[in-house]
Amino acid sequence: MLLKTIVSEGLAHHSYLVGGGDEAAIVDPSRDVDRYLEAASDAGLRITRIFETHRNEDYISGACELAQRTGATVWRGRSPDFDVPYAKVAEEGKQFEFGDLRLKVLYTPGHTDDSISVVLVHTETGDSPVGVFTGDALFVGDVGRTDFYPDRAEEVAGLLYDSLHDKLLPIGDQAQIWPAHGSGSVCGSGIAKREFSTIGDERRNNPKLQLDRKAFIEAKTSEHHYKPPYFERMEAANMGDSPGLQRLPRPAPLAMQQLERSLANGAQLLDLRPGQSIAGACIAEAIAIPLPMLAAFGGWFLDSQRPIVLLLEQASDRERAVRTLVRIGFERIDGFLAGGADSWATAAKPLQALHGIDVHQLKKRLAGDQPPLLLDVRSIDEYEQGHIAGAEHHYVGQIEQKAPDLPRDRPIVTYCKSGKRALVAAAALRRLGHQEVSVCWGSIKAWQAAGFELTDARKAS
């Protein structure tokens, strides 16, 4: 029996290859399916089955293309609302046996109506489940979001409670859980920084599993989640035949002249350099998102109707950039600037500073006569758990919408937890014409490390 986790970095999306005998099943494949084909071939396994635990909203599924290229069947849960043309419906309890293993489908709705979990039994050793693929129902330390059906908020929270308590916990303490997301995903803010867990561990320690049904529903319906605008395109893609890639786009290196032509023709410039490089030499018109943050924030800022040209720290970043973009539905990538930011500079293109300040400087400026406008760009939950006195809250993903309301004649300083989201927000404001924007390096972590205090908004209110 072979189990292999295949991670989409940034999305913190976990897909799985599970092999028995000479066959493999893939659970929740992402759109760049070459890596599943490669992993299966390396192990000498044919991919014969693909499971989608639910209609994914944060990335485009590769199930359809993978099925076409392998002859495998795609299995999904039943949805009251829609059919997925490339997939078959697996009824609850349906079993699949191959080699020394058995998979069994459980219906675990709540996150979505069509959510399933897939139980794994290793028949070589016994009949009790050794693990379960939990999709977005149960994570390590958290449970799935239930905010996708605002009209049925309590109902779906209740459905998830029942799925957890009536379907998943009964599998037994001994079973591993293999969720669709790890720490860092937008699909669960409380996911623990651990890559493994068991039903028993979650039963004991998952905060959400300690609540009774009523408290659980209350908790879930009062949660706040952000939903990036690209989610709707993903859902649509994943309900129909999502467009196959056939092969990964291979962006060409562009000379400055070509880049300019591309921009003139409507392309958007996406600057993926590290945050400190962006700050050091800032291209005002670029959408600036450091590469490791692209999966989480690209969908907030990029325009799906326009092609993309890339500014990379180094040419070797291009594959990672491309994989990230295609997973979240951006495959029109015209190319990348050959020579990167150095080419930009030596072509005498304008470069501006996006000032960075440390917390000591920030503290001093806040205490001065003309304190800057301080923006906390974290999630509202984080803000409410404690922030720097005087800070306004505007979530980084929504900063573009807020920008017109922000004063143009007053310096702005952005902060977040460690400075990363603050940089993205500051760059966005810069792009939208705010001249005096600074990012606070280290942000809340540094603020606390320096021994400065936070205001507890909950106490204050």
Q: By CB under 8 A, what part of segment 111-170 binds a copy of itself?
A: 122, 124-126, 128, 130-131, 140-141
Q: Kindly tell me which residue out of 78, 94, 102, 274 binds a copy of itself, with binding defined by CB under 8 A.
A: 274
Quick one: which segment of 56-64, 310-318, 385-393, 405-413 binds a copy of itself (CB under 8 A)?
Answer: 310-318
Q: Can residue 447 be called a binding residue for a copy of itself (CB under 8 A)?
A: yes
Closest contact distance (angstroms) between CB of 166 and a copy of itself is 19
Helix (H, G, I), strand (E, B) or coil at 317: helix
Region of residue 329 (left: phi > 0; alpha: psi -120 to 50; beta: else): left
Q: Give catalytic status of residue 416 as yes or no.
A: yes
The amino acid at 52: E
In angstroms, how far is CA 27 from the centroid of its own chain?
17
Quick one: which segment of 215-223, 253-261, 324-332, 378-386 binds a copy of itself (CB under 8 A)?
Answer: 253-261
Q: Are 229 and 51 in contact (CB under 8 A)?
A: no
**CB-based burial of residue 405 (10 Å sphere; 0-12 exposed, 13-18 middle, 19+ buried)?**
exposed
Q: Output helix, strand, coil percentages for the chain, rounded to the nearest 5.
A: 35, 25, 40
> Which residues are CB-neighbours of 119 under 8 A, at least 6 positions away?
103, 104, 105, 106, 129, 131, 132, 171, 175
Q: Kindly tell me which residue out of 201, 223, 331, 436 binds a copy of itself, with binding defined by CB under 8 A.
A: 201
Q: Can residue 320 be called a binding residue for a copy of itself (CB under 8 A)?
A: no
Closest contact distance (angstroms) between CB of 461 and a copy of itself is 28
Looking at the Cβ atoms of 78 and 355, the one nearer to a copy of itself is: 355
Q: Distances in Å between the alpha carbon of 233 and those of 15, 33, 55, 453?
A: 21, 20, 12, 42
Closest contact distance (angstroms) between CB of 226 and a copy of itself is 23
Exactly one of 64, 187, 282, 416 is catalytic; name it.
Answer: 416
The amino acid at 425: A
Order of strands, edge to edge, in the sheet holding 252-254? 252-254, 333-337, 308-311, 268-271, 287-288
Q: Can residue 7 be called a binding residue for a copy of itself (CB under 8 A)?
A: no
Q: Can residue 437 be called a binding residue for a copy of itself (CB under 8 A)?
A: no
Site string for a copy of itself, 41-60 (x = CB under 8 A): xxxxxx--------------
Closest contact distance (angstroms) between CB of 114 and a copy of itself is 28
- Helix pair angle (294-301, 318-327), 10° resolution: 60
Q: Kindly tell me which residue out of 88, 229, 353, 401 binds a copy of itself, with binding defined by CB under 8 A.
A: 353
Q: Can residue 204 be called a binding residue for a copy of itself (CB under 8 A)?
A: yes
Q: Can residue 273 be called a binding residue for a copy of itself (CB under 8 A)?
A: yes
Residues acting as catalytic residues? 416
